[in-house]
Amino acid sequence: MAGRRDWTRETLAAGVRDGDRRALARAITLVENGDRLAYDLVADLYPDTGNAYAVGVTGPPGVGKSSLISALVRHVREQETEVGVVSVDPSSPFSQGALLGDRIRLTDHFLDPGVFIRSMGTRGHLGGLAEATLQALLVLDAAGKELVFLETVGTGQSEVEIIGIADTVLLVLMPGSGDSVQALKAGVMEIPDVIAINKMDHPAAKTMLNEVRSILSLDRDSEWRPPIVLTDATRGENVAELWEKIDAHRSYLVESGRLEERRARHLASEVFAVASARAKRHLEHVVADDPELRRLLDEVQRRELDPLTAVREILERVFRIDADRDGSRTA
Ligand SMILES: Nc1nc2c(ncn2[C@@H]2O[C@H](COP(=O)(O)OP(=O)(O)OP(=O)(O)O)[C@@H](O)[C@H]2O)c(=O)[nH]1
Ligand SMILES: [Mg+2]
């Protein structure tokens, strides 16, 4: 078995392109750790990407996201579609731990060579989960996975950056996910492309369906009306219907030319998000290490220097940005 030292940029890229599981596992660990080799690898693989369809699956804890993905994977494997699953846990600083192990419940597919499943935490990743998720998606894409599920728990803003790269966003709810319904209603949560109300056996499932339907009916302008499907992930009920809706969304995007547009927008915002995150980190490090800059902050605190003058000096020193010009543009 190849140890960590045995992989080079070339062998790893070749292994990923062949869909070799050990190469994939290694590549995603490198991505997760923000390893230099991961950057080189993704740079090499990038020209071969763009073929995988990414489905983001989000929703509150325990609603059945993993169970539904598992059922959907079973369904698409009937057509022998090659599938990747990345389960991202924003709250976990480590990966492959017991907690994440419990989270993925996809053990049915662990022996299927056409399915690659991986959970990912933040671990030492400085670039954040958005960056790690994008890189993992690109690796799976280059490995020939035609369909990649990105699972992440959440109901608000935190997961937006993780599923922001997805082509289709599936929101999973269950009776009792009232907070999410409120968040949809208040416009705090972005309208997903497809909604599953899982655990449909629950007596309150129909009520929730009507509630969600009435919220969505307010949004008359959009051309795509998010379909809502009642599902039972454990019994596999309506899973085929759910897949049809996801596929219909994909066809809609392709036929209307919106897929290219959406991907271009996602990639641009991803690049900006990662660049901003790095710039912020750089700033924090420099300020922490530079007594001169810390002195500025002290002066602000003592009211000897006003905040915006301090900002100008910091930007000039750290980024060589002429803050006056920059400020006048946004004013
Ligand atoms: N009765 C019933 N139970 C379900 C259904 N779907 C999932 N479950 C159960 O609900 C629990 C949570 O399911 P998961 O698939 O792990 O949910 P999840 O949303 O991925 O959970 P987290 O990743 O921890 O947020 C498990 O015990 C499942 O067996 C369903 O349709 N009906
Ligand atoms: Mg899960």
Q: Is the pLDDT of residue 109 over 80?
A: no
Give the per-residue pLDDT at 89.
75
- The answer to whether the CB of 62 is under 6 A from ligand 1 is yes
Instruction: Give, for ligand 1, the residue of 74, 102, 234 to mutate: max count of ligand atoms closer than 8 Å to Cβ.
Output: 234
For residue 174, which phi and psi values (nearest 5 degrees)? -145, 160
pLDDT band at 96 (very low <50, low <70, confident <90, very high): very low
Q: How many CB atoms lie within 10 A of CB 309?
A: 13
Give the per-residue pLDDT at 310.
94
pLDDT band at 6 (very low <50, low <70, confident <90, very high): confident
pLDDT band at 112 (very low <50, low <70, confident <90, very high): confident
Which H/E stretch holds residue 210?
helix 205-217
Tens digits of residue pLDDT in 194-218: 999 999 999 999 999 999 999 998 8
19 Rama sector, left if φ>0, alpha if ψ -120 to 50, beta otherwise:
left
Q: Say how many Å lie between the CA of residue 234 and the centre of ligand 1.
A: 8
Work out the average pLDDT over 65-74. Answer: 95
Give the per-residue pLDDT at 123.
55
- The answer to whether the CB of 63 is under 6 A from ligand 1 is yes
What is the distance between the alpha carbons of residues 43 and 37, in angstroms, rounded to a whole number?
10
- The answer to whether the CB of 232 is under 6 A from ligand 1 is yes
Work out the average pLDDT over 310-318. Answer: 92
Q: Is the pLDDT of residue 304 over 70?
A: yes
Return the ligand 1 atom nearest residue 232 CA.
31
